[in-house]
Chains A and B, each alone.
Chain A
């Protein structure tokens, strides 16, 4: 079995302890040995990577990924893309995430029924490069809710990235269809969103009977449910029904926070802060001025979200990075900005931000005992970073600072060798 020894590395192991200078031996797809000093590991016959003091850390985990969002400024644009182009788009985006250091991604919803499943399968088969991936369903919503993009006179479902349901039986039918396709999780849109003014963030759309039907099917089949829940009522609805993954959670009240704290060992919150900030600060080139964004409710929501998420963080609720990259103002692969936002807005330490992307990441991938940390026996998803992310998180967004990306023991991006040569000889 091939062995790779990273020597002379600063190990940031994702456990929360401060980095140290050491060595890490990878054998096959696992971390075989973690040394406390640079010279503590020897491996005859291994490929040796002398990192000259670079940081070695676990691969990042994106908790809320939409490969099929296509970096456009509107939701309609997503469905203007035909299915063939859409699959190739997703394949390309999957590769870019991996090359950017996201070695795992939790699919949060896809725009057409099978996009996520097909991409996950192609990655697992080795047909295309991409992160470890959990495949999502489309967003299940109700007529008029977030995800319904049909016009009254053009009522065709192909226009919507969501699937519309009415009532518990209809919900059951749709959930079963996605389970048939092989999804890892079902996505429900419990609240509205300020991006769709007819269904704003503080509104709640689904009946308890509908949510209960979905959860029953999900449990029967051993799958997971994730929800779009911006309103306080939707957050509480999710917790009442035992939903594990809550996206956004912008608005909360004491009851919601108490419930979140009570279930903190089970629940993950991935707020997707970037879109709230981008709408206020970066959407002008696409016709959404700051004044317009404020009018849409983004200022109020950002303030509420910051307060809610700070409170969750204090109460020990797991808050994870990622979410709603894939729009013109939040393009794919800028995702590491979330770590900076966690520090700037939510009072995380840089170490906490790193752990949310690695240690918590392993947990949300349902592999907490073998993914997300540099530990003996863990899967070898590793990044080699030129610099100290604890001193400057933004280096994680700089491709040049990402010297190497390894997934499952194999280099996606191998470290460059120092000597470049212009003379090649055909062997």
Chain B
């Protein structure tokens, strides 16, 4: 593995400190040295990248990823895709995330039982390019809940992206089935979702079922993540020790107190882009603001913003990512979340960047080696043309992300300046 010295870069290290001019030396897959100034010399055998003042930062971590959502306007379209095309789609999308600077992703649910696991394994084997990935199960849900897409006269499980269970024993069987597949986490849908005709404030699972899910997951050392929009479902998460909470739109003082009391254990990834864009930017797919207002999304967005602001004030970790993979939230545009964190939740650019990096390491369960530019940490590094601390939207522009390094290797190497038209076959 080649050693690389980034010189003449502004280092944003993910510690919370302001960036400084300096150098970063990568040896193998680790960051060997982070220095201020440009004093490094006498290192032989390294590739030197003169960053010309570019912004060097840790690779970003997406906390709520669905590779298998297929950039279509309906949930139904997800399962119209046969498994063969679906796995190629996931492989393509995995490459796209890495391309856009997401060097790690937390799988939030997969549409067919093994898609996430197979993609994770293929990435780890080096068969396909992609981020570090934690593989999820399908969404475990109830009859008629979010994830059950089968009409009454077509009761075929293949039509649903969710796995439907009824009662603790079915939950046990289903969890074990996914554990057999090799998932890193189980996904459970603890609340409704307006687009499916179910109120976000619905909480359909019994505590017995949730307890079974968590107990079986723990038995096998797996993690649980929950789709939890309703206040009651957020409390279910804290009561049952569900570590990763997606959405958390509706809260009350009790829910916030519970979260705050357990803030070192939980991660909240709200998937704000879904609420924002579904409310206001999905008109060309028939979801005009009038329609989505009637559905309930406008009210939910307002309430979610209030809930999330309170969580930030209480020190609860809010992370970017979530529900990209629809026509109006296409994969790869995920850095919009950082913009929304600033715009809607009042985060500073610094806080938004830390949410994507410093909090990302811990949600990947690699907090002591990932998410910061520090000596000894894994070399997941972005080189950005511009200053995200001044303009957070530069991270949405592929051209401004000059280089992406994962595990010490360039997925995208910085372009060299000179272009030549005459080549000499060596």
Contact = CB atoms under 8 A, between A and B. Distances in A.
Contacts of B118: 82, 84-85, 88
Contacts, number: 109
Contacts of A121: 85
Given A115-B84, A425-B50, A417 B423 contact: yes
B42 interface: no
Interface in A382-420: 384, 386, 403-404, 414-418
Contact of A91 (B51, B88, B383, B421): B88
Interface residues of B, number: 38
Interface string B86-119: 0110011000000000000000000000110010
A114 B413 CA distance: 36
Contacts of B403: 426
A114 B82 contact: yes
B425 A424 contact: no
A232 B209 CA distance: 65
B421 A48 contact: yes
A427 B84 contact: no
Contacts of B52: 425-426
Interface residues of A, number: 38
A91 to B, nearest CB: 7
A92 interface: yes
Given A88-B122, A91-B91, A415 B402 contact: no
Interface in B401-426: 402-403, 413-417, 420-426
A237 to B, nearest CB: 33
Contacts of A384: 425
Contacts of B122: 85, 88
A92 B127 CA distance: 7
Nearest to A51: B425
A426 B405 CA distance: 14
B425 A122 contact: no
A83 interface: yes
A273 to B, nearest CB: 30
B330 to A, nearest CB: 16
Contact of A426 (B121, B415, B424): B415
Given A423-B50, A424-B414, A84 B425 contact: no
Given A88-B88, A114-B84, 19 more contacts: A50-B425, A54-B425, A82-B114, A83-B87, A84-B114, A87-B84, A87-B88, A88-B128, A91-B88, A118-B88, A121-B85, A122-B85, A127-B88, A414-B423, A418-B426, A423-B47, A423-B48, A426-B54, A426-B414
The 6 closest A-B pairs by CB, nearest first: A426-B414, A118-B84, A84-B118, A415-B425, A418-B424, A84-B87
29 contacts: A48-B423, A52-B424, A83-B87, A84-B87, A84-B114, A84-B115, A85-B121, A85-B122, A87-B84, A87-B87, A88-B127, A92-B127, A118-B82, A118-B84, A122-B88, A127-B92, A128-B88, A403-B425, A414-B423, A416-B426, A417-B424, A418-B424, A425-B49, A425-B50, A426-B51, A426-B402, A427-B402, A427-B415, A427-B416
